[in-house]
Structure 1
């Protein structure tokens, strides 16, 4: 890639003004609305059972096509796309009665029905979590290539220093949702039998090393190919894989603090607040934004110090995981509103979303702290924005599941619950969620390949959409192929 083209690409990708929070929220409604349309089609019409090629195509159009459209051709009129998803879902929900699973979907129970097969899992698989994590992976994969085309609005690209955008939310959401599911191992372990610090650190290295290796490979390939990059995003040598790779050992350290402050939410807020004080009351903020790059630390100051904010986001994700992963308690016969908030996952999620949202607006309000969101710094408002956004999205997906698949809470045996869960889960989103990090890695490779072979900035709407559709279809085929082969690639 020539120097002029590279400079143009950097200016194109960096983004300058970003979007408003309301704009990001409006565009992002495509995720829960796509899940709603899929869920209504399945619960009312059993459209995806069995999973025929036609059903697979519709699954792809709803869960991948809608995300692609939201970031490109419908970016200037997101409410129109939202209505195109919402109105059919409401029409089908009103005119069709719920239908149970077909007999072909129900496999005969195993002959040896031991306790392991009949006892309900205290940490059951939740379709709404699978749907949200899968949808987040889809929109992330779409965005990392779409940003290189003119059809992708500049307000969606990562901002330089201050502001909000879809892609700024994407990296934070990736970390947040990773935190949500990571707490599963902690919930499985009795607090009195928690491994010591040395054992936790040793185990964390097993998760860190592959990611750190990927970070090194990405650094070498980017520099070797003279690929367009924006230094102020993470620094000269740092990249997102390094951020992900250093999370496990630091999370292992914070598990010791959890014994003193038994709340991941409180720990995350304390960490983010202390970091914000350092940014505002010392020269740290100025150093990160305008300091010279004279050594290894100053050259990578964005990645090193923003890691503190991403660690807080990961801990906030773990606090939500403590809410959504355990089995929902049985409500009393005549539950009050307080019982529903305290006793249901949806109620707890809605309350958490309200708290995070209030804290976020206090942090940015003129009558509050008056701070600005900065993804580059991963400061306190950014941390609160990511936590609020993801809690709201998870609450909406949980509400969809509660409305469309109420029978999920009524299973009496593990095998029955497993069948109901699979029936209520999109095959495509399940596949993206199952091998998310591996798919993300392939998406990065394909993005580089496309940018090195075609002039993305000079392409028209039809050519751009054709390439982007082929790209996301390739990733979808890979994800479903790995799922059908029962392959889980853990990095």
Structure 2
């Protein structure tokens, strides 16, 4: 009986064809729409300043429950859910900010710029905390954690689950976004070292990358032995017999370290990503590699794990794309902006740069996938091919741009503050505590989500659960993850894996 149920579970997530890019965009638009309403409530009503039960509940409903409902109960009425989030925000925008004195603090003195130190104040950090990046990464982590359990219930539409080979789905985008996001934040230590004039030899960089990879390799091994030992349902064509997503994450740092040791590599990270992805796609097209991935018998270690091993090159390109965007968005002054430029000019330059990324990757995506005007190559998460790289890159750049625009409109003090203390106040005011918590300990929360997902699937018959019971389990699971994330943040704990 147990084995037949395992087969049912595997069939439930196998041979799926996904959905449309437009619907995926509509569902994921719930995250910035929720942040929009959160920002309107905060800037117009100071709703989340005093973080008591009403604020905690509101934060949870907007930044956790909204996405859960978007992928379950509102999956067929996603435009309605977006409207329910955007319309109240629009109404709140008609109100003045709750602090009528705020505006006079937003204009910097005419003789001072954000980097100047004329009053003996501490200089602003060249790599500031970006609330919109915190919101973007927190929302991405929330959506990932929600989906990995929700996919095991019938209330979660099959078109949102990972596709078998060709097509697009919400969870396919989630995997790529996780890697893109990791690449984005990996730019911070590189920028920090170069701003400080520090250089590392290739050997030093490789040793550091291997140390960061070791915990991920261990997690990959633990997951592998747990799945095999517990006879847990698994989707072999996702990564292979032994491979899993933790192994993919673990092998990224050493390869990236090879490129980071090259002087002036910052300028060429995006072209390098494009080069790797293009060469990989050419090999898929002109050799038998594509057929090998899709049809080869699993006779040895390589063939048994061919999806995970070969698709790694696509994920490496995505990681490098994220890092290239990070080199732009994490710096206080975007490249090409004069050192004397004030905060508003810097923010305009940043938005323009983000729009450039969005347009560039979107054009490339349509150029390679269009049947009429392009190469007509379909997206494949299983191979992490070039269309998948372009899709993930365009999507994440668009998400970051929207979050950045929302912050720019509602919290201008973040980018025009002239001293460190005031900037910290603005940053804190512009940041959801829940999204901050998920961003701060993202990998630890992701690990906890995997453990809870396994526990639920081993304890409950998720396939036979009705809508009400399924939603009860998912809300409880989301609440537990949120409580763990917020507790770690409130205790000032950062778990590095």
Superposition deviation, residue 95 in structure 1 = 3.0
2:477 aligned residue: 471
Picking from 242, 245, 252, the partner of 1:247 is 252
1:84–1:272 Cα change, 3 Å: same
1:225 aligned residue: 230
**Where in structure 2 are the equivalents of 1:166-185 lying within 5 Å?**
166-185=170-189
Partner Cα distance (1:123, 1:138) in 2: 25
1:212–1:101 Cα change, 3 Å: farther
Greater Cα shift, 340-349 or 400-409: 340-349
Paired residues of 2:122 and 2:419 also in contact (CA < 8 A): yes
**Where in structure 2 are the equivalents of 1:375-394 lying within 5 Å?**
375-394=381-400
Partner Cα distance (1:234, 1:261) in 2: 31
Paired residues of 2:333 and 2:339 also in contact (CA < 8 A): no
1:125 maps to 2:129: yes
1:48–1:372 Cα change, 3 Å: same
**Where in structure 2 are the equivalents of 1:70-469 lying within 5 Å?**
70-97=70-97, 99=99, 118-190=122-194, 193-256=198-261, 259=264, 262-328=267-333, 344-366=349-371, 367-469=373-475
1:107 aligned residue: none
Paired residues of 2:266 and 2:327 also in contact (CA < 8 A): no
1:109 aligned residue: none
1:331–1:460 Cα change, 3 Å: farther
Partner Cα distance (1:125, 1:27) in 2: 28
Partner Cα distance (2:326, 2:212) in 1: 19
1:257–1:282 Cα change, 3 Å: farther
Deviations along 1:41-79, one digit per CA (max 9) or x if unpaired, are: 001100001111210111000000101000100001110
1:54 aligned residue: 54
Paired residues of 2:126 and 2:333 also in contact (CA < 8 A): no
1:327–1:98 Cα change, 3 Å: farther
Superposition deviation, residue 97 in structure 1 = 3.3
1:342–1:398 Cα change, 3 Å: closer
TM score, norm. by length of structure 2 = 0.92
Superposition deviation, residue 262 in structure 1 = 3.0
1:431–1:369 Cα change, 3 Å: same
Superposition deviation, residue 423 in structure 1 = 0.9
2:489 aligned residue: 483
Superposition deviation, residue 96 in structure 1 = 3.8
Paired residues of 2:277 and 2:317 also in contact (CA < 8 A): yes
Superposition deviation, residue 190 in structure 1 = 2.3
Superposition deviation, residue 420 in structure 1 = 1.1
SS in 1 for 2:233: coil
Partner Cα distance (2:487, 2:120) in 1: 29
Greater Cα shift, 249-258 or 69-78: 249-258
Deviations along 1:255-287, one digit per CA (max 9) or x if unpaired, are: 245646832110100000000011111111110
SS in 1 for 2:380: coil
Gaps of 5+ in 2: 103-116
Partner Cα distance (2:39, 2:144) in 1: 22
Paired residues of 2:280 and 2:385 also in contact (CA < 8 A): yes
Superposition deviation, residue 11 in structure 1 = 1.4
1:117–1:188 Cα change, 3 Å: farther
Gaps of 5+ in 1: 103-112
2:44 aligned residue: 44
Superposition deviation, residue 332 in structure 1 = 11
SS in 2 for 1:286: helix
Partner Cα distance (1:100, 1:158) in 2: 49
Superposition deviation, residue 413 in structure 1 = 1.4
SS in 2 for 1:51: coil
RMSD of aligned alpha carbons = 2.3
Superposition deviation, residue 14 in structure 1 = 2.6
TM score, norm. by length of structure 1 = 0.93
Paired residues of 2:44 and 2:95 also in contact (CA < 8 A): no
Deviations along 1:458-484, one digit per CA (max 9) or x if unpaired, are: 001110000000000000000000000
Paired residues of 1:341 and 1:348 also in contact (CA < 8 A): no
Partner Cα distance (1:347, 1:262) in 2: 18
1:58–1:296 Cα change, 3 Å: same
